[in-house]
Amino acid sequence: MFIVESYGVAVFFCIITMLCWGSWANTQKLAEKTWRFELFYWDYVIGIVLFSVVSALTLGSTGDKGRSFMDDLQQADSANIGSAFLGGIIFNAANILFSAAIAMAGMAVAFPIAIGLALVLGVIVNYAASQKGDPTYLFLGVALVMIAIIINAIAYRRISNANQKVSGKGIIISLIAGVLMSFFYRFIAASMDLENFEQPAAGKMTPYTAVFIFSIGILASNFLFNTILMKRPFEGAPVSYTDYFKGKFKTHMVGVLGGLIWGLGNSFNLIAAGKAGAAISYGLGQGATLIAALWGVFIWKEFKQSPAGTDGFVTAMFLFFITGLALIIYAGS
């Protein structure tokens, strides 16, 4: 299987994760013009599963290092399979709430609150379990990223006019999603031998196998979580599976693309965790709010008619973000 050999490549993979995790929500934004997020989310999950299968059968099964996907799956013990599967369930509960928050309050509110909270709590949880990297630089970097996220929220607030009320329910759901999001990574990381991907301990899984089991956990739990949400949505009328199958092929493909993008980021992040460590890998990946902000500023032109002085907040946000991410990278060098 393919194994990351150097810390520099691991950081590059984490940056790809950041790009993917900060960009997939644009597919939901594109689809929501004609498509309810509950229906979009089915296609998104399908995309995640598809990528995990393709990744396992290609990168996870080629080369002369480590165990191939099928060999690894056959030797994995039930405890580690269960851990990765549980990680998928926890992630799905968090992400479906996060998607609901995006639909209700927008990316500008959901990303800073949910992902910002997930970043801080997730780094603490993962560092406590696997203390890899300099804690001083790591947590200072996390603190600077959090300041950047707060500035990001202030900047978006400045461009909201009096008629644009932020959904209180959306904020609460974002908070819950952020707390849940901070825990999923620990369960999937625990199912792998982070110290030795080339010769993993017996019963432990390679990142490719762990990602596959994780994605099956997402898919299986979606039949419960999303079915409930379709019947009892946070906002709007209930939707049915009949509505889903009425969707156009192009509309379905937008959701699948979103899942493929997120799945690429997730796989790269876990592949990098062997060299970077779980806390640093996760922390860099959850810098996705920076990418979401870049989309908002340069592509969606969300600050085009902002009040005077807003540019200063945007500049400060990027400076704090870049400095914080640089410290997180340095913590593991």
Write the burial class of residue 245 (CB in 10 Å: 0-12 exposed, 13-18 middle, 19+ buried): exposed
- pTM (predicted TM-score): 0.90
Q: What is the pLDDT of residue 164?
A: 53
**Res 161 pLDDT > 60:** no
Residue 208 to residue 222: CA distance in whole angstroms: 21
Q: What is the mean pLDDT of the chain?
A: 90
Q: What is the pLDDT of residue 163?
A: 43
End-to-end CA separation in angstroms for the chain: 25
Q: Is 132 within 8 Å of 278 (Cβ atoms)?
A: yes
> Could you tell me how many residues make up the chain?
333
Q: What is the pLDDT of residue 159?
A: 65
Residue 165 pLDDT grade (very low, low, confident, very high; cuts 50, 70, 90) = low
Across 284-301, average pLDDT: 81
State the virtual CA torsion across 301, 302, 303, 306 in degrees, nearest 10: 130
Sign of CA dihedral 115, 120, 125, 130: positive
Write the burial class of residue 27 (CB in 10 Å: 0-12 exposed, 13-18 middle, 19+ buried): buried
Residue 57 to residue 229: CA distance in whole angstroms: 33
Q: What is the pLDDT of residue 121?
A: 92
Q: Which of 61-65, 178-182, 297-301 has the highest mean pLDDT?
A: 178-182
Q: Is 72 within 8 Å of 205 (Cβ atoms)?
A: yes
Residue 78 pLDDT grade (very low, low, confident, very high; cuts 50, 70, 90) = very high
Residue 166 pLDDT grade (very low, low, confident, very high; cuts 50, 70, 90) = low
Q: What is the pLDDT of residue 10?
A: 95
CA atoms lying within 13 Å on the CB side of residue 331: 28
Across 1-11, average pLDDT: 94
Residue 297 to residue 290: CA distance in whole angstroms: 10
Across 134-141, average pLDDT: 94
Find the helix packing angle between 278-285 and 310-331, rounded to 10°. 160
Q: Is 196 within 8 Å of 64 (Cβ atoms)?
A: no
Residue 204 to residue 20: CA distance in whole angstroms: 27
Q: Which of 102-106, 165-169, 194-198, 265-269 has the highest mean pLDDT?
A: 265-269
Across 262-273, average pLDDT: 96
Across 6-17, average pLDDT: 95
Q: What is the pLDDT of residues 204-224, one digit of tens each?
A: 999 999 999 999 999 999 999
Across 240-260, average pLDDT: 96
SS3 content of the chain, % helix, strand, coil (to 5): 75, 0, 25
Across 266-288, average pLDDT: 93
**Res 167 pLDDT > 70:** no
Q: What is the pLDDT of residue 145?
A: 86
